[in-house]
Structure 1
Amino acid sequence: MANKEVQKNGKFAGSSTLGKLSKIDPHGFERSDNFDYVSYEIFESEYLGVLAHRAKRWNQIIKDGDKKTIHSNGKVKRFCRKGIPDCYRAKTWMNLSGATKRMENSLDVYEKLLETGCSNDVELIEAIKTDLNRTFPENIYFNGKMTDDKRQSLYNILLAYGRRSPAIGYCQGINFVAALILLVVKDEEKSFWLLSTLLDHILPQYYTKSMLSLRVEMEVLKELVSSKYPLCQEVMERAQAPWMIVASKWIICLFIDVFPIETVLRIWDCMFVEGSKILLRATLCVIKQNETKLLLCKDMPEIVKLFESIKTDTTVLECHHFMQKCF
């Protein structure tokens, strides 16, 4: 979290950040002028204690960073649900998703994808370049404010993926997913393999033109809401507000720009070991937490406005409590 509090081994030296928050968060996102520093500092002063405890537990699994391979088991799954420390997050995502093994079994593939063109290159390159400067313009690593500008690496990752998986190629939303992976993993080739693993194996057919898996997930969501929160579903149906319109962005962007970044990363910690079901768990948790407000909505605009405000909701900001409620 706060850079001054974090030591190299993932432990935390202090438990309070009040008055110390930078205008740029640890992942490079610039905090807006209306950012609620007070609420965030209160949250972070508590959350640092949670992170310190989790870092100690993860040190035992990773053996202070020396362990090269992490295998999925019941203990690791529980640990992922409780959060992966930043210093171990990239290695854990790569290992548990299977991306490391795919990269090791595909030597030179990434370089060859960048060197060799394909039949849809003109359309693919144009689409990527159109969205490149729209990707995280509030992040110093993507807006030209740092010498370590990651836009070229992001372009390479998206181009290589589009060439390798022409059935998907490139569509809006993938740029944000790839960019966040790059911010966490920090290595271009590893980020490519993690993105490929995510889109082709963990979330297959979410990003195809038909969005088949996404549409299925929205139908499953409707059934779950009807079962668990029937009054909420009645409100949605009266307002003629299908979940595909209201919640599809949450799933397709994997909650980027929907939740605060800490909460997004916590959801991803689970996604890379448990798969897509965490996306529905998180969606249901949001609906449950906003049930009272949703029941007061009279039409679709009110529903959309309600769910657009969740990013500033303190119940979502408090990512550790939110994740506990998901399970």
Structure 2
Amino acid sequence: MTSTTSVSYTAPSSSSPKMAPQRRSPAIDNLTISTVTSNSSMEIDLRRVSSMPERGGVETVMSNSDEEDIIRKSQSEGAKPLLKLDQYGFISNMDKDGLVVPTADSQRPTQQGKGASITSVEQRRTTKWKIMLNSWSNIMKRRPKLVLKRLRKGIPHEQRGKVWLTLCHVKERQQQNPGLYEKYANSKESPSKAFQTVQETIEKDIHRTFPRHSLFYDDGNDSEAEMVDSPFGGSLLDAPDRHDDEEREREIVEGQASLKRVLKAYSLHDPDVGYCQGMNFIAGMFLTIVTEEEAFWMLVAIMSDQPCYMRGLFGEGMRETHKVLYVAEQLVHQFLPRLAKHFDKENIHVTMYATQWLLTQYTSSFRFDLVLRVWDCFLQEGWKITYRVMLAILQEFQSQLLQLSFEEILAFMRDLPERIEDGGKIVTASIHIPLRKKHILKLEREWLAKQDQH
């Protein structure tokens, strides 16, 4: 008996067939999981509402016992197991090799991962953010410290998209450049050889971007997928290259297609930077929160505008990357001198463990409970939160690291993201590290002076 399982996204029709529908929550509105055998056809519609911005609650169309019956029946008929999603849309029943494994767990995706109910504290925080958003300009002028305080506590997930778009002035950019994103995304101009090279790199990287997230999960490649080395270290789920563009466009999952268009559009918008590995994780993370076009304009904002200004990290020569890593190394010596001394003894340099953390603002390897909290702050206060979180992570594991040798430290660092049980706790602890902007500026001036001497 043969069987297949597919995951498909059901979205409203769009006036532009080549672009994804512009939704507030692009990750999933209706995730339809179909199990088809020669004798039967079963379809589960998971309306995963709570984990997406501007949505609340968990609505299902099946009881727990019904789902368990279908899981058992699917397994007995050789069908692929159903997907179980966490509160951020990641597939929780996937093993280290990228294969979805059967589970009879009846747990549903919930807003905070601990239950579908919202606490009174969360309700009060949500109400406060609604009030702030309704009078944003006035609040930012009169009480900027209050805004920063609340950003550091974390934005309620259902409002995160709105707040991020406001911080990045996305609405204003769209109004000033009507139709520009669609023009980039649907561009059919004869590309140069350099442009073709950029697009080929993008094509490879989209398959390596959050393969465990439901938005980017390629169900059709289960049998062909394999683990490969990440450009930043560690392993990522990869899929074989496709050489037939038309065939690939038909096969590509919606999240990957959106990511490909966003990265292509940015490479056209900023040809001097084009595309560099690492940008895919940032753009992919944006797509789990906001719509496709909004993700593009957010990428433009964080690359070009203060306080983020990440453009220099990815431009030719990656000059800003060297500056960031210099600052990070010196901060470890300043705030964690005992650990820094041990690292020096074992010849451990910051480039051996923190490059991917800093270049992608933790999106490439850490869980989203940490990543999203970092970005809540980063969009408003810039690099200070990035360095603070690095220090907080090292501080959290300092006692273990002090006992390890060179090889053991590198192995520990590769697995470190998985060792963090509560990312929010790390971010909260980082706020109490007495790092000031003047410390960062002083170290940046030192780095510039060293460059002038060469």
How has the CA–CA distance of structure 1 residues 226 and 190 changed in structure 2, closer, same or farther, with 3 Å as cutoff?
same
The range that moved more, 187-196 or 107-116, is 107-116
Indicate yes or no: 2:133 matched with 1:26: no
Q: 3-state DSSP class of the match of 1:191?
A: helix
Q: Which residue of 2 aligns with 1:291?
A: 398
Greater helix share, 1 or 2?
1
Q: Which has the higher contact order (CA 8 A, sep 6+)?
A: 1
Distance 1:104 1:163 in 2: 19
Deviation at 1:5, TM superposition (A): 6.7
Per the alignment, in what secondary structure is the counterpart of residue 111 of structure 1? helix
Amino acid at match of 1:83: G
What is the one-letter code of the residue matched to 2:209? T
Instruction: Give the match for residue 142 of structure 1.
Output: 216
State the 1:311 CA deviation: 2.2
Q: 1:159 to 1:136 in 2, by over 3 A?
A: same
Q: Which residue of 1 aligns with 2:155?
A: 84
Maintained 8 Å contact 2:51/2:87 = no
Name the counterpart of 1:302: 408
1:220 aligned partner: 327
Kindly state the Cα deviation for residue 204 of structure 1 after the two structures are TM-superposed.
Answer: 2.9
* Partner in structure 1 of residue 369 of structure 2: 262
102-111 vs 159-168, which deviates more?
Answer: 102-111
- Asked whether the 8 Å contact 1:206–1:214 carries over to 2, the reply is yes
Give me the whole-angstrom Cα distance separating, in 2, the residues matched to 1:70 and 1:297: 52
Per the alignment, residue 127 of structure 1 pairs with: 201
Q: CA deviation at 1:84?
A: 0.9
Structure 2 CA distance for partners of 1:151 and 1:69, relative to 1, 3 Å: farther
Contact 2:54-2:158 within 8 A present in 1 as well: yes
Structure with the greater alpha carbon radius of gyration: 2
1:322 counterpart letter in structure 2: I
Deviation of the 1:292 alpha carbon: 0.9
1:312 aligns with 2:450: no
Name 2:23's counterpart in structure 1. Answer: none
Q: Unpaired segments of 5 or more residues in structure 2?
A: 1-46, 59-63, 65-82, 97-104, 221-251, 432-454
1:322 aligned to 2:426?
Answer: yes
CA drift at 1:96: 1.0
Q: Distance in 2 between matches of 1:9 and 1:244?
A: 39
**Equivalent residue letter for 1:231:** R
Distance between the aligned counterparts of 2:128 and 2:177, measured in 1?
Answer: 33
Distance 1:70 1:181 in 2: 27
Instruction: Please provide the CA RMSD for this pair.
Output: 3.3
Alpha-carbon distance between aligned partners in 2 of 1:161 and 1:267, rounded to the nearest angstrom: 23
Aligned residue among 185, 188, 205 for 2:292: 188
CA distance in 2, matches of 1:71, 1:155: 37
Maintained 8 Å contact 1:70/1:92: no
